[in-house]
Amino acid sequence: MRSFLAVALFSALLLSCSDPQRLDPNSGGETTREDASLNSFGLPAPGLTNEQRRFFERGDSFFTQNWVTAPASTDARDGLGPLLNGASCSSCHVLDGRGAPPDPTGEQANLGLLMRVSLPGEDPVTGAPLPDLVYGGQIQDRSIQGIAAEAQIDIEWSPIEGTYADGAPWELRSPTYALSDLVYGPADPDLMISPRLAPQVFGMGLLQAIPDEALLELADPSDGDGDGISGRVNMVWDARLGQHVIGRFGWKANVATVEQQVAGAFLGDIGITSSLHPAESCTALQNECTEAPNGGSPELTDERLATVTFYNSTLAVPAMRDVDDDQVNQGARLFAEMGCASCHTQTMQTGVSDIDVLANQTIHAYTDLLLHDMGPGLADGRPDFNATGDEWRTPPLWGLGLIDEVNGQRFLLHDGRARTIDEAILWHGGEGQAANDMFQGLSADERAAVLAFLEAL
């Protein structure tokens, strides 16, 4: 009750001072597209030149089409695996969208949930997690013919029940992960695992173009302002520069650039080498994998890597919908009042960019790209560069309401455990616990307003 009163008071205050502020539908600034169809995550940013559109289409082709076993007639596209999670980027990012974890009923196949693995410690030079000697840095649960897939991901779900302050019940499903069918030998007893779901990919070029200074300004590593929220930048290894830089991509902000995200996924997920990752993802103990035919050295040329990087960078951000709806606006105010926006930062400015249309844009990604302690419920216990086992990067919320339309389902958080937006909020612990508590204290109407706002993103 007390929190309800506090919220009501806040609302009254906010109403009086910020009422004229209309929500801006252009979440991606001038790179926004007004589209809510199933193609809404896969459109080129407005304003690309015709030459850039063609480059985008080439990247689209190498992102979308399957890679095939080497040797093949289509020698630009061979070299799949030998170990892999999917045969193309779009295997997991269907229609440039979001993946889904497997479901115990078998109704939902595994579409884009993978398992990162590592041993305690870190690389002395780069600071990266230490790969397992047998399984490397990621479990590949598929393979080409004649090569054994490494292992399968087993998930056991158990329910967690609770009630909102108004008595309405809620139920979460909590996963316990294990690896089975470990064909290259038993797992190291110290092996740490971290499940990661394929997120929607648009808007990455804009996030890349946010100046470092803006992120450092948002960071508050020792919670100097005492608000209980202490965002930290992850410092990760930039393989191109050969030095540590601020991490922006991946569930733990563990990757520096769009290009390195793309090249890393090509190797780890599809088994496609590039100049950034010239060796196949076979460990010294996987001889058949090492000896299998490859599709060239590297399999993805620098120019093709550049096309896919450009494609990922310039996918348009879908516009926010229903910005003049009263309920949506009420939800937006509650979102700010509950402190959600302390990490899900509404508005940022991009700075310089190699790609003209991405420069100097006002964007509403609802992320600070920083690491936050999200509590034991969400913790994977596996450090990743500076990120601890309790920390996750604030994910962008733009396009959240369109995932169902694009992918026919919507599973949220880093491993897709949340089946609804409510569930995703209820999982927030650690620095997100206070906002979660406030959410649980809202009335049913207010909760509906928060969800209406998030659905409109």
| Token pair of 111 as six digits | 């579409």
Question: Whose structure tokens read 């960078």?
Answer: 313
Residue 270 near other proteins by CB under 8 A: no
| Token pair of 118 as six digits | 């590592």
Radius of gyration of the chain (CA): 22
**Residue in 71, 120, 185, 381 binding other proteins, rule: CB under 8 A:** 71
CA 132/CA 187 separation, integer angstroms: 9
Residue 302 near other proteins by CB under 8 A: no
Contact between 82 and 288 (Cβ < 8 Å): yes
Q: Which is nearer to other proteins, 86 or 264 (CB)?
A: 86
CA 175/CA 198 separation, integer angstroms: 17
Other Cβ atoms within 10 Å of 279 Cβ, number: 11
Residue 72 near other proteins by CB under 8 A: yes
CA 129/CA 131 separation, integer angstroms: 6
Closest separation in Å from C-beta 295 to other proteins = 11
CA 71/CA 136 separation, integer angstroms: 25
Residue 34 near other proteins by CB under 8 A: yes
Residue 187 near other proteins by CB under 8 A: no
Residue 168 near other proteins by CB under 8 A: no
| Residue 302: burial class (beta carbons within 10 Å; 0-12, 13-18, 19+) | exposed
Pairing of strands 129-130, 138-139: unpaired
**Residue in 293, 297, 326, 445 binding other proteins, rule: CB under 8 A:** 293
Tell me whether the omega of the peptide bond preceding residue 298 falls within 30 degrees of 0, making it cis.
yes
**Residue in 23, 33, 132, 380 binding other proteins, rule: CB under 8 A:** 33
| Half-sphere exposure in the Cβ direction for 331 (13 Å, CA) | 21
Residue 119 near other proteins by CB under 8 A: no
Residue 148 near other proteins by CB under 8 A: no
Residue 42 near other proteins by CB under 8 A: yes
**Residue in 8, 109, 160, 241 binding other proteins, rule: CB under 8 A:** 109
Q: Which is nearer to other proteins, 74 or 349 (CB)?
A: 74
Binding mask 78-107 for other proteins (x = CB under 8 A): --x-----xx---x--xx------x-----
Contact between 11 and 18 (Cβ < 8 Å): no
Residue 69 near other proteins by CB under 8 A: yes
Closest separation in Å from C-beta 363 to other proteins = 19
Closest separation in Å from C-beta 261 to other proteins = 21
Which letter, b or e, does each residue of 162-195 get, where b requires 16 or more Cβ atoms within 10 Å of its Cβ?
eebeeeeeeebeebeeebeeeebeebeeebbbbb
Binding residues for other proteins, total number by CB under 8 A: 48
Residue 111 near other proteins by CB under 8 A: yes
Closest separation in Å from C-beta 97 to other proteins = 9
Residue 305 near other proteins by CB under 8 A: no
Q: Which is nearer to other proteins, 268 or 339 (CB)?
A: 268
| Token pair of 235 as six digits | 């410092």
Stretch that binds other proteins, among 48-56, 276-284, 325-333, 369-377 (CB under 8 A): 48-56
**Residue in 70, 151, 198, 270 binding other proteins, rule: CB under 8 A:** 70
The DSSP output letter for 281 is S
Give the residues lining the site for other proteins (CB under 8 A): 33-35, 37-40, 42-44, 50, 53-54, 56-58, 60-61, 65-66, 68-77, 80, 86-87, 91, 94-95, 102, 108-111, 144-146, 293, 304, 407-408
